[in-house]
Amino acid sequence: MRAALSACARSDAELRVLQCGYSTSGNWLLHGILAAILGRHGRFRSFVEASGVGAAIDALCGATRRMPDARRVDNFKLVDGRWHVQFPDHRCRFLPLDLELALAHSTLVWSHDRPDALAPWGARFSHRVYVLRDGRDVVNSMLHYLVTPAILALYPDHRFETLEQIYADLDFFAGKVTAWRDHVRAFAGAAAGWRLVRYEALVEQREATVAALAAHLGLPVDAAAIARDADVARMRKRAPRHVRAGRRGDWERWFGPRHRAVFKELAGRELIELGYADSLDW
């Protein structure tokens, strides 16, 4: 693989972006915007695409691939302290990665790992962007996501098959709330090194948010054009397996009194501190 990539050495090693966020926080939307900004300047590079891993995802993972552009997304994960490419197949979920080789051929890395886990590699990136979303919408979106056909195919031993089953398991629900809380706590502890982007702003103030991100990267673009393509309705048509509703406050349709009580107990303080609630009276 190293020989195959040797001709692709980058001239823009000084620009390398790390994006991070808890799952279902708007990561794909953010990736699309960042890739578009980089791409307008000919600066987007994908190790997954250049190495042939992306072609393998296209060829082998039709039933479990959620994003239509997975072939060009450098979705990396730390497993036991080592970097891996996430591969959407239940027979081989993670492919071991030579990080130095990958970073030589990537300008945009996506990770769901917590910011504190990523801290030892922070200096490898010129820019770090964290996407944040109301945790109630995150958990609601996650529970819907975990019973989609693509996820059930990816996890054949998954014990939930319906949304009713997954919402009925309060212990499982609490685990997802705790995981979101710990992720955003880790971000709060390292916030000085990250550019914060709120999912709600990505959806509701798209053009201004795109312009701010482009300015942060030092890459001026036609923000209106990129914002038009980043519309959630358009994205849902392109990736119906990956994008469901994307609405603010959809959690209210699904949380019962017990779910609300669990969330308030475990992560109510975080909602208030992050500006998603004025109090625990919701």
Percent of the chain as helix, strand, coil, to the nearest 5: 55, 10, 35
Instruction: Name which CATH class applies to 15-44+107-273.
Output: alpha beta
CA nearest 140: which of 239, 265, 260, 32?
Answer: 260
SS3 56: helix
First to last CA, the chain: 53
- pLDDT 10s digits, 161-214: 889 999 999 999 999 999 999 999 999 998 888 999 999 999 999 999 999 999
Quote the CA–CA distance of 140 and 230 in Å, as a whole number: 22
Q: What is the pTM of this model?
A: 0.88
Ranges 39-53, 81-95, 128-142: which has the least confidence: 81-95
Q: Is the pLDDT of residue 89 over 50?
A: yes
What is the predicted pLDDT for the residue at 231? Answer: 67
Q: Percent of the chain having pLDDT more than 90?
A: 67
Check residues 148 and 79 and name the one with the higher pLDDT: 79
**Residue 53: CB partners within 8 Å, gap ≥ 6?**
47, 85, 87, 95
- pLDDT 10s digits, 102-157: 999 999 999 999 999 999 999 999 999 999 999 999 999 999 988 887 777 777 67
Q: Where are the domains of the chain?
A: 15-44+107-273
Quote the CA–CA distance of 153 and 3 in Å, as a whole number: 34
Ranges 10-24, 40-54, 111-125, 248-262: which has the least confidence: 10-24
